[in-house]
Structure 1
Amino acid sequence: MEFDPVLIAPRRQTSIARGWWPERTINDALDACLTTRPDQLALSAMRLEDGTATRFTYREMATLADRIAVGLARLGVQRNDVVSMQLPNWWEFTLTYLACSRIGAVINPLMPIFRERELSFMLNHSRSKIMIVPKRFRGFDYERMIAGLGRQLPHLREVVVVGGETDGKPAANSFEALLSGPQWERDADAREILTRNRPGPDDVTQLLYTSGTTGEPKGVMHTANTLLSNIVPYADAMRLSADDVVLMASPLAHQTGFMYGLMMPIVLGARAVLQDIWQPAQAVQTIRDESVTFTMASTVFLTDLAASVHETQAAVPSLRTFLCAGAPIPGPLVEQARAALGAKIVSAWGMTEMGAVTLTGLDDPDERAFTTDGAPLPGVELRIVDDEHAPLPAGATGHLLVRSCSSFGGYLHREHLNATDADGWFDTGDLARVDAHGYIRISGRSKDVVIRGGENIPVVEIEALLYRHPAIAAAALVAYPDRRLGERACAVVVTRPGEPLDLPALVAFLKSHKVAAHYLPERLLVLDALPVTPAGKVQKFKLRELLRDGERGQ
């Protein structure tokens, strides 16, 4: 794959001179742990469906990463080839990323909720050579789904299945038979394979797709320098060290899970604990059993965890900090969570393109966690501007621009969408204000995305499908507030004369187009007409107000 991270070179000299870019890779971090703490427990991975827990020391993790790396090379993976993974929070996810980093391959994490529609685009756009999937997860057959795509994926050379078996033995295409079983690291050419193509700190190491205002997902390119330049000050701000235990129940295929649940513990020489299915009671037990000190997740996780502790009276005294991002935190929740968990609740805001941008501090008053989204990390600058890009004063709401050392290298083969000016300012598409103390508050989104439980729903794509329904004359997808998930999606439609429509029929139609379950609207509102501007643009703020007023009226 030919990558085009055009946003890296223009800021390299400044980023190095100011000490923002560490000039290290995850290989350096893992090798350091192998030298200083080889027998320290590094990773504990919990699979809730079968009740198993797999653990690795740093020595075991490095050995198996090398084995998988040589195995990938045996499958034809070379430098800059894309290896895609649609895995839950399993140990295979962590080890495959480390293996790719050993041989200069680029990891492409894919959310387990994605189905044929999303995958066919992403795998083709990235020209992925290898796809790694679970045989089954939560009752769904991923191997069959990928097999069904067949000729739609001309670049894909191999599908590797985690947990695939034939007659009780690992199947020929299984992860166990191809990658984690054979002791490839002992082969005569293994050392040369593991050293000849190691990536540099400015090479693309991660390709992560995000959906925004365009109808197609965008491939966000990150390097070791852009990722680590965020992870290091983030960990410093949270006062994390090698003594900490990090629980990650958010998907590793999200930037939250990838940066702070996979990479950060290795950078610190700490221990990661992975949970593959969100069950609050199990999370409480895991925190207690593993002496977890830190976790990061969206608001819904915090709500559930606090409620579970309150109901069971099972204290979690080891947990010092819960960093919450993805949606504003209601004030009462901070108070309830503080009382139930005994942990500091930290508010944060960030993007796939640059990781965490702002955080509240550990010494900040608790109210800042629900009245702000935090202050910028070191190496991050914020600017609030009006429609003409003129700076606005503190307290005024405008368009949020960010210039960050951790900003991405650009969108793969979509340079025209990079939204970054010659001075490095990235237009986030969000509306925000900054207070007199430098703390930010996101007040809306000028880009049209619904965020359900921390997961972006690609509005334009779903709306395009709604318009294909024979009963729909006009449609809009808008967010409505939800206490647990932050937001849910409502389809607001105008139907054609004599064409009835209900929510089950609409959902069935979208499912027939292979839409991921997470993207399906959970409410349907039928109107005589959609509110529009004089130019004919749908006024979605009026629809959101209508939904909120409807909630209050119930």
Structure 2
Amino acid sequence: MKFDAVLIEPRRARMEAEGLWPGKTLLDYFEMRLAEKPDALALTAFTVATGARADLTWAEMDRLSWRAAAGLHRLGLGKDDVLACQLSNSWQFVVLYIACRKLGVVFNPLMPIFREHELLFMLRHGEAKAFVVPKLFRGFDHEAMAEGMRGSLPDLEHVIVMGGSGANSFDALLQDPALEATPDLRAISARDRGDANDVCQLIYTSGTTGEPKGVMHSANTMYANLVPYAERLGLGAGDVVLMASPMAHQTGFMYGFLLPVMLGARMVLMDSWDRVLGAQLVAQERVSFTMASTPFLMDLSTTVEELGTDSSSLRIFLCAGTAIPGAVVERAQRILGTKVISAWGMTENGAVTLVSPSDPDERSINTDGFPLPGIELQVRGPDGQVLPTGQEGELYVRGCSNFGGYLKRPHLNNVDDAGWFDTGDIARIDAQGYIRICGRSKDIIIRGAENIPVIEVESILFKHPAVQSVAIVGYPDERLGERACAFVVPKAGQDFSFDDMQAHLKAHHLAVQYWPERLEVRQALPSTASGKIQKFALRKMLRQEMGLE
């Protein structure tokens, strides 16, 4: 595969001169840990369905990753080939990525929830040469699906099955002890492992706006984010990092895997979220840091309150992806004793704005943080001019953690000649440099020339005791141009009516012009693997139901 990461070289000299690109790869950090404490516990992985636990030291991870590297080499994978992986959080995921880096193989993590529709596009576009899947995950036969797609994927040479029993199993192909005797493997690794500017990860956008794009990252673009991220949060080798968010998503991959390796901290992995086990692990493993979306925080608070488990070790819970209701922050602090940190980021940039642990809680409630070192922000108006403090506009980012570009689609990179990346988000910046994400540029609803503050209305509706989740989208109107529709998922056993919505908005003194004219009550809303509601899907659904498509 030839990678057109055109956004890396033009900024390389400046990033290196300013010390913003560390120049280290995962293997550099991993080998430091291996030299410092080979027999220390590095990884603990839990399988929720069976309760199985696996523990690995740094030395054991190294040995298993060399076996896997030998197996991949025997299958013909080498530098710049793409290996796609649909595994849940597990020691096999970790070992597989380390093995890929030892050979210069580019790693393409894919969410376990994806099926043929998404996978055929991604595997074909990324020219995956090997595809690693679980035999079964949550009752679904991934092996049968993968084998069924092979005829439509001319580049795919190997399907490797974790938990399989045949010749194509992960254990047979990548964990046979005889692989340790593979000749010249160290020399091959020294030649092909590459440097910090090589593309090492291909990860597809979560698709909140339509067809996914293949984001290319190097070690430098990812660690340029991780180094200042850890410094801002005060994280170090003594921390225990819990990760239940999928490692096939950048949250899990960067902050549940790359971050603890960089720090020499221990990682505790869950293959899926279970609130009771999560609370127990915080207590038993003395977890000090985790990063997840707001529903995880709500679950953990509820469970610790119910069970009375010890959460005193949990110093920081970082939430990104959506605004955090003040009541959630206050409850988490009261029950868990943890500091809730808000953040904003994208697959293309990592988490680039964070609240500081020393900030008052209201900063996590009312803002999405301020930029990490090496990141600049601009808010621009419709004609491209930079807007004054406090005004809402389109958010642009320029900095060290920006990605290398979209695979085979450089025309979609959204980066101007000065290096500014158009995020597609609407935001404002306050006088202290903190941002607030106000929505996506395509989420703006303009009713009769009046901009509807979508995020504000959603936040008010979320406060209703019967509302579990809410999303507001626009639909066409001949007279006003657009009107607003609220999609609501009620809490279990609760009802929510149009009259309830209007009474609630009236009680919160929201201008009548901002009230949604339509309510759709659903059991669930379409969302990405990371939990972001897909408003483009809601708009399409609404138009179809109204007979407009």
TM-score range, shorter chain: 0.7 to 0.9
Q: Displacement of 1:368 after TM fit?
A: 0.7
Note closer, same or farther for the CA distance 1:523–1:340 as it changes in structure 2 (3 Å cut).
farther
**For 1:115-514, what aligned pairs fall within 5 Å after superposition?**
115-165=115-165, 171-212=166-207, 215-447=210-442, 480=487
Listed one character per residue, the Cα deviations across residues 132-174 of structure 1 (whole Å, up to 9, x for unaligned) are 0000000000001111113111100000000002xxxxx1000
Report the Cα distance in structure 1 between the residues aligned to 2:122 and 2:277, rounded to whole angstroms: 33
Unaligned stretches of 5+ in structure 2?
445-453, 456-471, 476-482, 493-519
- Whether contact under 8 Å (2:489, 2:521) holds in the other structure is no
Measured in 2, the distance between the counterparts of 1:242 and 1:483 equals 42
Contact 2:41–2:266 (CA under 8 A) maintained in structure 1 = yes
In structure 1, C-alpha distance between the alignment counterparts of 2:186 and 2:545, rounded to whole Å: 69
Measured against aligned partners, the alpha-carbon deviations of 1:148-205 in whole angstroms (never above 9, x if no partner) come to 113111100000000002xxxxx10000000022342332222223222011110000
Contact kept? 2:344, 2:353, Cα under 8 Å: yes
Match of 2:90 in 1: 90
Aligned-partner residue type, residue 77 of structure 1: L
Structure 2 vs 1, CA of residues 18 and 530 (structure 1 numbering), >3 Å: closer, same or farther?
A: farther
Whole-Å Cα distance in 1 between the matches of residues 538 and 546 of structure 2?
Answer: 19
Percent identity among equivalent residues?
A: 52
Pair 1:219–1:369, CA change in 2 (3 A): same
Match of 1:8 in 2: 8
* CA drift at 1:86: 0.3
Measure, in 2, the Cα distance between the counterparts of 1:528 and 1:415: 36
Asked whether the equivalents of residues 282 and 310 of structure 2 are also in contact (C-alpha less than 8 Å), the reply is no
SS of the residue corresponding to residue 323 of structure 1 reads strand
Deviation at 1:481, TM superposition (A): 5.6
Q: How far apart are 1:79 and its partner, in Å?
A: 0.4
TM-score normalised by length of structure 2: 0.83
Query: 1:367 aligns to what SS in structure 2?
Result: helix
> Does the CA-based 8 Å contact 1:84-1:123 persist in structure 2?
yes
In 2, the alpha carbon distance for the partners of 1:484 and 1:394 equals 38
Alpha carbons of structure 1 residues 481 and 403: separation in structure 2 relative to 1, 3 Å: farther
The superposition leaves residues 402-429 of structure 1 with CA deviations (integer Å, 9 ceiling, x where unpaired) of 0120000000000000000111100000
Is contact 1:84-1:131 (8 Å) kept? yes
CA RMSD between the two structures: 3.1
Structure 1: which 5+ residue stretches go unaligned? Answer: 166-170, 452-458, 464-475, 486-501, 511-515, 532-537, 539-554
Aligned-pair distance for 1:234? 0.4
* Cα distance in 2 between the residues matched to 1:181 and 1:39: 22
* Alpha-carbon offset, residue 351 of structure 1: 0.2
Q: After the TM superposition, list the runs of 4 or more consecutive aligned residues in structure 1 that deviate by more than 6 angstroms.
A: 476-479, 518-524
Contact 1:213 1:448 (8 Å CA) reproduced: no
Quote how far apart the aligned CAs of 1:62 are: 1.1
Aligned CA distance change for structure 1 residues 481 and 37 (closer, same or farther; 3 Å): farther
* Alpha carbons 1:212, 1:448 under 8 Å: kept: no
C-alpha distance in 2 between matches for 1:143 and 1:524:
32
Q: What is the rounded CA distance, in whole Å, between the counterparts of 2:304 and 2:170 in structure 1?
A: 37
Is residue 132–residue 162 contact of structure 1 (8 Å, CA) maintained in 2? Answer: yes
* Residues 211-220 or 54-63, more deviating: 211-220
Amino acid at match of 2:289: F
Task: Work out the CA distance in 1 between the residues paired with 2:367 and 2:6.
Answer: 33
**Cα distance in 2 between the residues matched to 1:480 and 1:32:** 50
- Hey, what's the Cα distance between the residues in 2 that align with 1:422 and 1:416? 13
**1:29, 1:396 → 2: CA distance?**
42
Cα distance, 1:526–1:20 mapped onto 2, change above 3 Å: closer
Contact persistence 1:375–1:439 (CA under 8 A) = yes
Paired residues of 2:46 and 2:270 also in contact (CA < 8 A): yes
